[in-house]
Chain A
């Protein structure tokens, strides 16, 4: 693979994603999100693509694991790591040639995780006004954080309206696992 020596030579943004790539992989991501919504899950679809193959796929697993960090991106990153181990490939080498496609802007936590693994490009649909880490609440993707991997490039807005509609539909339903909210007097 010869991935060891490329450390600084392969700079961020060197991984290009074409319009065709975006169309193709975001279609998959939106199908996943729609499936999640049908199953009563948070409608976020996400996949990690390395050299034209899907090496990680995720959906939100917070409720079944009781672990609030099990966002779709974190699940997909775990699959990518497993895939590297099974394929006997160097994680760093794979990550720097992997793009993430996700229907909703990654949250602050996921954005930092993507940095820590040096993922160079993130393609997302709609903004995440509640938690977004690529500009909406904070911009972790480009912040000066020398100890937190490398910044990544964002391509945003693909089918954003659709992604928002799915989220709205979901949040109208109730989360049965959340504690009962105290009545508010506004």
Chain B
């Protein structure tokens, strides 16, 4: 252990050197999609509530529940203070020359108080994050049910100094495991499994694919966790860095048959710290293992928790989990370059 800590002298408690950002679903991270609609100025403010009532009944805009029907016109000196959304452009497909009367059936919506319509672009989907909300609002006001945790996480401020210091320690241990594995000729990837409630390391593992092509660090750790529960199907005894600890059973606090009792079930609620983004196999193995959260340092080319897929937020799958990237990013990137050096020297030998 000693040489590793020396090699990373100064980084031991330097939690300011990295920021953990959430890896959000596609829906949460995509650009704001816009759809064309007709809006019209409300020239007589007193007609507003009647207009909204009649328009909502005739053009309910069911797919745009998030859109506010009326917006205030902010530009100073505007002749009218309010504008109202009449309908989608697709609601009036055959219209060549648009005037307000042709958009409104005279018996249902009386056009009094409305000016001539014009085309606007409005957000097609409800915003899910604050950045999406801010972008959407530039086009047309929308409602927004803010997930405060996501907002804070996007700013990189979800984890306080105490939490970051723990995360730093866990990832340092994963980096050390990666280096130990690399010394044995494996790819430089390490992983650590933590019970975040007990603040306890359950397993430490590294890539072992020199022995078995599917023994990526995550797969090794999943089996080590199984071993900690009296199961498992491999032996990693010859790798001193691959270890597990039996979880402490909080049996004294919970009656044995109580709901959610202390008996651990696969990786439920455990956190995984992995030096690089897991591949498709490992990411899906984490879904099957019902992991709590995953933290990784560096992205990988075929990564399945952000780069190629987002398996942790994949529709149709029965388990989802939070993913954060960038923990000890620099040290984890350095590990990838170790592997690159190895690959190059192998190619030279051929």
Contacts and interface: CB of A to CB of B under 8 A. Distances in A.
B284 A107 contact: yes
Interface in A114-148: 115-117, 129-131, 133, 137-138, 140, 143, 145-148
Given A68-B266, A138-B309, A112 B226 contact: no
A72 interface: no
Contact of B289 (A68, A116, A137): A68
B169 interface: no
Interface in B215-257: 219, 222-223, 226, 229-233
- Measured as residues with beta carbon below 8 angstroms from the partner, the interface class of chain B is 35 or more
A162 B60 CA distance: 47
Interface in B90-140: none
| Interface bracket on A | 35 or more
A65 interface: yes
A115 B280 CA distance: 10
A42 to B, nearest CB: 12
Contact of B314 (A68, A78, A138, A148): A138
Interface string A22-56: 00000000000000000000000000000000000
Interface stretch (A13-21, A96-104, A153-161, A177-185): A177-185
A87 interface: no
A64 B318 contact: no
Given A65-B226, A67-B232, A77 B214 contact: yes
B280 A109 contact: yes
B222 A117 contact: no
B239 to A, nearest CB: 17
Given A67-B231, A137-B314, A113 B308 contact: no
Contacts of A129: 316
B150 interface: no
Given A81-B212, A145-B302, A177-B265, A67 B280 contact: no
A108 B284 contact: yes
A163 interface: no
A91 B259 contact: no
